[in-house]
């Protein structure tokens, strides 16, 4: 962490456009910390992992929409393209090139132990029907990261294993050639926000589980998402003393509500059985609208200025391309693929 503060710390992070828009789990778990790190002189490489979305999205219209939405969300939430390098993964072909290389430095056995793959198996999917994109997902992710030789990778807890396997690939590559081509990056995961619980109160908030609180959806939908959130199951009436710890609605208040004295007052009254769940949720909704209102307005402006967005992405891909081309040249030289016939 001291290194982060030193101002020369480079970070890389991506988001997969597999759902329609960002939710508060993405925002507090990854986007907010990554955006804060854009101030760092070591540079922030933040991208839309559109190739990763192919593991689940096989409908071109849906994918087009998802990509546009996540790009607009990210910019609206405060990503500054003059400070961070913001781009689309597919616009920088070196991500795919390095993927082909890195697959040779990790074993099948190691890949089989990855969560995303194991989760599918646990959900009853037949092993033989799992697509190879999903199986190879961590290799593409390792390429995303290693191309930029970052110090850290700001992510949520669910991505920890992917950063670990990235380190393993880097280590085994470095060892094979006896030099440190890839410095080992560390996962940057916040203790407080690395795993935001979903509105079902059980699993992590996730687009695929349908337990999210959105940021940019219609007010009525966000209200519905908040109102249907799990609270304290043992509380039958608003006069029963309620539990604040582990109660997702209060976790959301801690994250979203900038009126800290209101939050303390609600917690106190909840514990004493002096406030109903509806009021607690109503106030959460008001706080949500207050916090995200500027971003929601910015997003509307961006929607009407897609030329600017295209320009931002083009510039970002150019900047990312400069570094990733350099790394690929170094990699091909190290491998022996660059020889007297192609220099
Ligand atoms: P993705 O798109 O599923 O999620 C984007 C980021 O949001 C974090 N996140 C959460 N954090 C806290 N609580 C939650 N409930 C929550 N839900 C999501 C994720 O941990 C992630 O950091 N494989 C990645 C994208 C990726 C990437 C990369 C990340 C591709 N290449 C290279 C870092 C570096 C993914 O699918 O994240």
pLDDT given for residue 285 in this prediction: 98
Do 167 and 260 belong to one domain? Answer: no
Total domain count, the chain: 2
Phi, psi of 244 (to 5 degrees): -95, -40
Q: Is residue 270 part of a domain?
A: yes
In a domain, 315, yes or no: no
Query: What is the DSSP annotation of 32-99?
Result: HHHHHGGG-TT-EEEEE-TTGGGGT---HHHHHHHHHHHHHHHHHTT--TTTSEEEEGGG-THHHHHH
| Per-residue pLDDT at 121 | 80
219 and 153 belong to one structural domain: no
**What is the DSSP pairing of strand 186-188 with strand 152-154?**
parallel
With respect to residue 316, please indicate whether it lies within any of the assigned structural domains: no
Give SS3 for 236: coil
Residues with catalytic annotation? Answer: 120, 204, 207
Assigned domain for 201 exists:
no
Whole-number pLDDT of residue 269 = 97
* Res. 257: pLDDT tops 90: yes
Q: Residues 276, 281, 282, CA angle at the centre, nearest 5°? A: 95
Is 311 among the domain residues? no
Q: Which has the closest alpha carbon to 53: 122, 151, 140?
A: 140
For 104-126, how does the pLDDT look when each residue is reduced to its tens digit (9 = 90+)? 999 999 999 998 888 878 888 88
* Whether residue 111 is found in the same domain as residue 251: no
> Residue 333: which residues within 8 A CB-CB, separation 6 or more?
none
Asked if residue 110 is part of any domain, the answer here is yes
Nearest CA to ligand 1 atom 29: 14
pLDDT at 125: 84
- d(CA 154, ligand 1 centre) in Å: 9
d(CA 59, CA 320): 28
In the reported structure, the alpha carbon of residue 156 is separated from the centroid of ligand 1 by a whole-number distance in angstroms of 6
- Window from 123-132, 208-217, 270-279, 295-304 with minimum mean pLDDT: 123-132
Residues 220 and 270 in one domain: yes
DSSP H helices, the chain, are: 2-5, 24-26, 32-36, 60-76, 94-102, 108-112, 115-122, 132-146, 160-177, 219-227, 248-256, 260-272, 277-303, 306-335
**32 and 140: one domain?**
yes
| 169 and 188 inside one domain | yes
Give the model's confidence band at 8: pLDDT under 50 very low, under 70 low, under 90 confident, else very high: confident
Instruction: Tell me the three state secondary structure of residue 5.
Output: helix
Average pLDDT over residues 52-79: 97
Residues 134-141 have a mean pLDDT of: 96
Provide φ and ψ at 70, rounded to 5°: -70, -35
- Both 50 and 122 in one domain: the answer is yes
Q: What is the pLDDT of residue 120?
A: 78
Q: What is the per-residue pLDDT for 126? A: 87
114 lines ligand 1 (CB under 6 A): no
Q: Give me the domain span that covers residue 20.
A: 2-196+324-335
Shared domain for 51 and 176, answered yes or no, is yes
Ligand 1 neighbour 66 (Cβ under 6 A): no
How far CA 274 is from CA of 118, 221, 237, 271, in Å, comes to 45, 28, 10, 8
Burial class (CB in 10 A: 0-12, 13-18, 19+), 252: buried
Overall average pLDDT of the 239-247 stretch: 96
- Check whether residue 115 and residue 135 sit in a common domain: yes
Query: Residue 336: what pLDDT?
Result: 97
On whether both 140 and 282 belong to a single domain, the answer is no
Burial code of 32-62, b = ≥16 C-beta within 10 A, e = fewer? bbbbebbebebbbbbbbbbbbbbbebeeeee
* Whether residue 3 has pLDDT greater than 80: no
DSSP per residue over 241-256, as a string?
Answer: ----TT-HHHHHHHHH
26 lines ligand 1 (CB under 6 A): yes
Could you tell me the distance, in angstroms and rounded to a whole number, from the CA of residue 192 to the centre of ligand 1? 16
Asked whether 24 lines ligand 1 (CB < 6 A), one says: no
Burial class (CB in 10 A: 0-12, 13-18, 19+), 174: middle
| Predicted TM-score (pTM) of this structure | 0.96
> Is 174 part of any domain?
yes
Assess whether the C-beta atom of 30 lies below 6 angstroms from ligand 1: yes
Question: Which of 75-79, 116-120, 289-293, 316-320 has the least mean pLDDT?
Answer: 116-120
Could you tell which of 22, 23, 26 is best to mutate to test the pocket of ligand 1, judged by most ligand atoms within 8 Å of the CB? Answer: 26
In a domain, residue 180? The reply is: yes
What element of type H or E holds 13?
A: strand 11-15
Average pLDDT, the chain: 95
CATH number at residue 265: 1.10.240.10
Rounded (10°) CA dihedral 262, 265, 270, 275? -70
Do residue 228 and residue 191 come from a single domain?
A: no
On whether both 175 and 224 belong to a single domain, the answer is no
Residue 7: which CATH number?
Answer: 3.40.50.620
Tokens, residue 182: 């890839």
What are the tens digits of pLDDT across the range 19-53?
879 999 999 999 999 999 998 778 999 999 999 99
Is residue 4's pLDDT more than 80? no
């Amino acid at each position: 962490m001291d290194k982060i503060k030193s101002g020369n710390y480079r970070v890389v992070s991506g988001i997969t456009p597999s759902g329609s828009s960002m939710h508060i789990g993405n925002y507090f778990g990854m986007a907010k910390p990554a955006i804060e790190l854009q101030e760092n002189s070591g540079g922030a490489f933040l991208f839309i992992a559109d190739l990763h979305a192919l593991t689940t999205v096989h409908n071109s219209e849906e994918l087009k929409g998802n990509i546009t939405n996540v790009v607009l969300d990210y910019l609206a939430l405060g990503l500054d393209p003059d400070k961070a390098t913001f781009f689309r993964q597919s616009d920088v072909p070196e991500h795919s090139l390095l993927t082909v290389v890195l697959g040779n430095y990790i074993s099948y056995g190691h890949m089989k132990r990855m969560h995303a793959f194991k989760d599918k198996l646990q959900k009853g999917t037949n092993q033989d029907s799992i697509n190879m994109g999903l199986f190879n997902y961590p290799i593409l992710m390792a390429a995303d990261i290693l191309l930029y030789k970052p110090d850290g990778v700001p992510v949520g807890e669910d991505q920890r294993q992917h950063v670990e396997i990235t380190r393993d690939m880097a280590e085994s590559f470095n060892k094979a050639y006896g030099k440190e081509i890839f410095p080992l990056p560390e996962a940057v995961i916040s203790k407080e926000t690395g795993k935001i619980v979903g509105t079902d109160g059980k699993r992590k908030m996730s687009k695929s589980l349908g337990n999210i609180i959105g940021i940019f959806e219609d007010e009525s939908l966000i209200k519905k998402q908040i109102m249907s959130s799990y609270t304290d199951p043992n509380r039958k009436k608003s006069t029963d003393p309620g539990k604040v710890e582990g109660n997702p609605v209060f976790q959301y208040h801690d994250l979203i509500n900038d009126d800290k004295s209101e939050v303390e007052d609600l917690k106190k009254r909840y514990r004493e059985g002096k406030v109903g769940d509806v009021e607690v949720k109503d106030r959460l909704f008001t706080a949500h609208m207050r916090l995200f209102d500027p971003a929601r307005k910015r997003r509307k402006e961006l929607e009407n200025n897609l030329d600017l967005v295209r320009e931002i992405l083009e510039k970002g891909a150019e900047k990312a391309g400069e570094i990733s081309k350099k790394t690929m040249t170094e990699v091909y030289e190290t491998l022996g693929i660059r020889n007297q016939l192609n220099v």
